[in-house]
Amino acid sequence: MERHTVTRTGEHVTTSTTAGRTPVLISDSYFERLRQDFPLLEQSVNGHPLVYLDSGATAQRPVTVLDAETDFLLTRNAAVHRGAHTLAAEATELFEDARATIAAFIGAQPDEVVWTSGATEALNLVAYAISNASLGRGGVATERFRLTAGDEIVVTEMEHHANLIPWQELAARTGATLRVIGLTDDGRLRLDQAEEIIGERTRLVCFTHVSNVLGTVNPVTHLARLAHEVGALVVLDACQSVPHMPVDVAALDVDFAAFSGHKMLGPNGIGVLFGRSELLNALPPFLTGGSMITTVTLESAEYLPAPQRFEAGTQQVSQAVALAEAVHYLNDVGVARVHEHEQHLTAHLLSRLAELPGIRLLGPASAEERSGLASFTVDGVHAHDVGQYLDDVGIAVRVGHHCAQPLHRRFGVTATTRISTYLYNTTAEIDFAIDRLATVREFFGADDDGANA
């Protein structure tokens, strides 16, 4: 199986592969060459070369990731942690090796990584486990998690629904109060509000590392310090950060973090919950059944330590193996280099968007203060029409409320168009998209005041 390796010499960074490709400098041309690893990007859509600018929703997968999952299914497929035969032992070893790979990627220990179906399940796992603790499940060890009336859960106005609704439900089940940190007009968190809201009644502070709409990169360590000073736990939505920038959960000082495989070159159906070991081992389980128990009688059960206590049922083994291969790919390219490339793309994107009349950008205006995505409105043209107009020439973008209705409501819009980049995108693709976008208002007859003619 071919895999990229990266070598640094002085100020230059080169890449080679086990197939013996000629080393090239890490530059636009290098990232253009990486596109060869992504077969899907070679196709045409509506008679035009595909320009895929929707990686914020789902990233494409390199051949090595596709091959890793196929190879497992062809040669190692078996249930893990259950059989004594050779295939089961080999599958279990690959499964746990994958866990160790992901743990190292985010600065965690293997027993702090729980496999889930995605970030949505990971966040719900924490919320429902705390709910179970609040009902008295788990004994004395769970006291620190129990919520009652008067306790407070803090979220922000920029949250994806997956990091908002679970906490709404937890508040409803326990009688706790949900409090919200608002946003500035340029899409940053109101840190003055955060300092006022996070207080002695706060039990949980749940927020996104990077907004999936605004691109805002939030000050995680600052918010974590505010939370920990009052004894609250921190839950981080890292879906838009782990694939795109170096993330060290220990350095960030968060208690839980969630992210999904399909946003970081990996397969669907696999996600990760990071939790500090002592917290995971104190929480009661969310799902129950096989593979998460030590002893079962007809009256009761005892549970395995974390992470297995949260992994009931048949696991996503081939997906975990493929996600580990995605991490190897990102490590070989260099996550810091991916981040630099995306910042370059974002700066170019913001500059080009600023040239167009009738475009309203949501979020910070500087590339240094945001991730590689930009959401915007077009005066006089609905976001869905913008998306279809771009798709007509093979440009794939995301339109809608992006599972963040409260955020859109805050800025007085119902939907936006979002361009999101990744390591396989180029400035030429952004130019093509912006040049097409420049003609959208004329096509739909939108006048200069933003009204439809």
Residues marked active site are found at 403
Cβ neighbors of 89 (< 8 A, separation 6 or more) are: 83
**Helix (H/G/I), strand (E/B), else coil: 249:** helix
- 445: tokens are 């007859």
Whole-number Cα distances in Å, 160 to 238, 257, 305, 364: 11, 14, 30, 18
HSE-CB at 151 with a 13 A cutoff on CA atoms is 24
Cβ neighbors of 331 (< 8 A, separation 6 or more) are: 105
If you count them, how many residues does the chain have? 453
HSE-CB at 191 with a 13 A cutoff on CA atoms is 10
**Helix (H/G/I), strand (E/B), else coil: 186:** coil
Cβ neighbors of 139 (< 8 A, separation 6 or more) are: none
Cβ neighbors of 406 (< 8 A, separation 6 or more) are: 157, 159, 164
Q: Sign of the CA dihedral 282, 286, 290, 295?
A: positive
Q: Where are the alpha helices (DSSP H) in 35-155?
A: 63-75, 86-105, 119-134
Q: Sign of the CA dihedral 131, 134, 135, 139?
A: positive
**Closest-CA residue to 116 (of 262, 227, 282, 8):** 262
Cβ neighbors of 260 (< 8 A, separation 6 or more) are: 118, 119, 120, 239, 270, 271, 272
Whole-number Cα distances in Å, 75 to 62, 68, 101: 20, 11, 21
Residue type, 73: L
Residues 427/411, Cβ–Cβ less than 8 Å: no
165-174 helix and 119-134 helix, angle to the nearest 10 degrees: 10
- In sequence order, the β-bridge partners of residue 25 are 14
Q: What is the DSSP letter of 452?
A: B
Residues 244/276, Cβ–Cβ less than 8 Å: no
